[in-house]
Amino acid sequence: EKAGYEHFMLKEIHEQPTSIQNTFAGKLSELEGTVTLDELYLERDEIKRLKRVTIIACGTSWNAGILGKYLFEKLAGLHTDVETASEFRYSNPVLCGEELTIAITQSGETADTLAAVRSSSSYGCRSIAITNVVGSTITRESDSVLYTRSGPEIGVAATKTFTAQLVALYMLAIHLGRIRGVVSANEAKDLIVGMKRLPGQIQKILNKKEMIKECAAQFADKRDCFFIGRYLNYPVALEGALKLKEISYIHAEGYAAGELKHGPLALITDETPVVAIATRGHTYEKILSNIKEVKARNATVIAVADDDDTEIDKYVDIVLRVPSSHELLAPVLSSVVLQLLSYYTALAKDCSIDKPRNLAKSVTVE
């Protein structure tokens, strides 16, 4: 069943060109600059009246939620909060009914996410679930469902379902943003063209995975590692760190790069590699200065950068390349690189990749 791959995780990483394609199939109109999401049953007026979005999720799905926040704010002009389901349940949310709740859960069975959605529904909030499992519990607890079409994910570490969640969030943000008149038809067209290029671009990364494997050798004997990124690359950093700690047992932290000097910089030495997600965008210069800060503390820096970016080579030790893409879409590509980096690090350490210690694929208890 592993189709010749050594682990389900590697197989699932390789399935991403298809899982992404399947997730957006039949929904994107390049000509009109629109995304059709009839399954949401959301009226245009309802969408226009929305005041706020609350995203509820755990783990990797929560990391996807952070990207969702930036997208909804930029493309749909909607203030968005991202809540950890286990915290939301026991807090005192101030909700008035004109919010949209979006639950992101690959399995559709995460106990805390289910309970948090029930609690938000009790305030009269309209809910949408983004899930990969047809007929899962969340599909019954939510008003509507947007499916990621990744196929079953066996590896405990989420990979193809994460990138499909990002695609679902791009689609939702464009859909809401077009109806609310925030994102223009032309901007939406650019994004749609960019989304359609993602499967081919991911394939290019997969074809060059040997380079990532070589880089992973540098991690295997380390105790700690930092992942840094800004704006859309911040959730990529969080997810890169979660993946590494989950399967390789290396202590890894994902940070908004601007936060480094507020504490974690004290931990940076020549023994703490730093992975900087540095694809081009309006925070590119900022991440370069953060890279200089950690280089000054002798860290080995591995950058994820655009394939035609030659400037970055001056500042870092290793560059892992991704095909250049639309600024908003680059997180999908960088995430694939970081999945491979974690995978090969765990492989070098001979870890139990598909079933890491202490973890379950779906967390159906509190």
- Whole-number minimum distance, CB 157 to ligand M6R, in Å? 4
246 binds ligand M6R (CB under 6 A): yes
Count CA within 13 A, CB hemisphere, residue 102: 28
**Candidate list 107, 148, 201, 300; residue touching ligand M6R; CB under 6 A:** 107
List 204, 213, 222, 361, catalytic entry: 361
Alpha carbon distance 220, 273 (integer Å) = 11
Number of DSSP helices (H) and strands (E) in the chain, helices first: 13, 12
The residue of the chain with the least Cβ separation from ligand M6R equals: 59
107, burial (CB in 10 Å: exposed 0-12, middle 13-18, buried 19+): buried
In the complex with ligand M6R, the residue whose CB is nearer, 34 or 113, is 113
Listed in sequence order, the DSSP H helices in 6-130 are 8-14, 16-24, 44-49, 59-76, 85-88, 111-121
Contacting residue, 86, 218, 324, 362, with ligand M6R by CB under 6 A: 362
Minimal distance, residue 13 CB to ligand M6R, in Å: 12
Torsions phi, psi of 329, nearest 5?
A: -95, -15
If one asks whether residue 110 binds ligand M6R (CB under 6 A), the answer comes out as yes
**Binding flag, residue 105, ligand M6R (CB under 6 A):** yes
Considering beta carbons, is residue 242 or 316 the nearer one to ligand M6R?
A: 242
Minimum Å distance from CB 282 to ligand M6R? 29
Q: Give yes or no: 69 in active site.
A: no
Is the CB of 229 or the CB of 281 nearer to ligand M6R? 229
Looking only at residues 54 through 73 of this chain, which bind ligand M6R when binding is defined by CB under 6 A? 58-61
User: How far apart (Å, rounded) are the C-alpha atoms in residues 199 and 185?
Assistant: 23
Query: 87 and 55 in contact (C-beta within 8 Å)?
Result: no
Q: How far apart are CA 278 and CA 364, in angstroms?
A: 36
Q: Show contacts with ligand M6R in window 151-180 (CB under 6 A).
A: 156-158
Asked if residue 353 lies in contact with residue 155, where contact means CB atoms within 8 angstroms, the answer is yes
Q: Which is nearer to ligand M6R, 84 or 324 (CB)?
A: 84
Of 130 and 176, nearer to ligand M6R (C-beta) is 130
Among residues 139, 92, 145, the alpha carbon closest in space to that of 114 is found at 139
| By the rule CB under 6 A, 116 interacts with ligand M6R | no
Nearest to 61 by CA among 361, 366, 365: 361
- Residue from 21, 54, 113, 120 touching ligand M6R (CB under 6 A): that is 113
> Which residues are known to be catalytic?
361
Q: Contact residues for ligand M6R (CB under 6 A)?
A: 58-61, 105-107, 110, 113, 156-158, 242, 246, 362-363
